[in-house]
Amino acid sequence: MIITEPFNFIPWFIDMTSFEDFYISCPCCSSWLIGKKAKADSVNQSVLYSDGMIINDLIPANPQQIVLCPACGFLFWMQKDACHNSIPESDKLTAYSWPNWRFFGCNLLDNHGKIALINHYWKAIELLQPLSVQQEIIVRKSLLWAYNDLYRDANTWRFVDVVRGKINFFYWIISRKFNRKGRALFESERRHFEANIHRLIELLERDPNSEPAVIAELYRELGEFEKAMLHLSKIVRRTHYINLLNTHIQLRDKSVFKVAG
Ligand SMILES: [Zn+2]
């Protein structure tokens, strides 16, 4: 299949029958919002990244936990027990579809949409106070992934893929331009990106259940390779991920990388 569509993240060939609907009601205005979740037995491909982000069939596997109601603008935590499998047909007619509230309605096919998502998470940290430690970790991890999304797929396609006929030449040009712009935006945001990681490390180091590998990865993304190595040395079991993490620390590489998939 030769890919001719402009960006990596367009789910144009996703089989939507692999997903099922769920419904949540806004606690402020009672509007119904329709969400989609992957059916557990239908995931064809999972991709894991070093920052913990998992993509199943091109859709992030980590469920969205904060919702901005598209009807009234109320920001709320999604409670598991507030999710319904069905609602009356009459309510479905006026329910808000997934693109209206997913990722706060931001268009992630555009780099500015990705920046808008980042700004939403910063705003959520400000508006949802007081946050418990676990809640703050959830928001700040989402923020970390949103920053890394600015260049996460930048190396998906290389010129050799054009030569091999895997992708269309014009797609490759557009994709490269898009990725370069994303990387430039990421660099321009680095100060805020690092401030978020510093706070995330502070929170995780307080939690006795935190995995040293997660903290090692955060230090690596900060470029603090000695500290990253120190945390990595606490891990006895050598997995594929730990070995890769070790390699990237040795290379003094602070970019997010694909672990599997
Ligand atoms: Zn509402």
Residue range 24-60, pLDDT digits in tens = 999 999 999 999 887 766 566 788 999 999 887 767 7
Separation of 35 CA from ligand 1 center, angstroms? 15
CA–CA distances in Å: residue 169 to residues 3, 86, 154, 164: 10, 45, 16, 11
Chain centre to alpha carbon of residue 101: 15
Q: Which of 33-47, 79-93, 120-134, 149-163 has the highest mean pLDDT?
A: 120-134
Give the mean pLDDT of 243-252.
96
Q: How far is it, in rounded angstroms, from Cα 4 to Cα 18?
A: 24
Give the mean pLDDT of 115-130.
96
Q: What b-and-e string marks burial along 112-147, b requiring 16 or more CB atoms within 10 Å of the CB?
A: eebbbbbebbeebbeeeeebeeebbbbbbbbbbbbb
Residue carrying structure tokens 């309510």: 91
Q: How far is it, in rounded angstroms, from Cα 228 to Cα 17?
A: 42
Separation of 76 CA from ligand 1 center, angstroms? 9
Band of residue 119 on the pLDDT scale cut at 50, 70, 90:
very high
Q: Ion ligand 1 — residues with CB under 5 Å?
A: 26, 28-29, 31, 69, 71-72, 74
Over 50: is that where the pLDDT of 185 sits? yes
Q: How far is it, in rounded angstroms, from Cα 166 to Cα 113?
A: 28
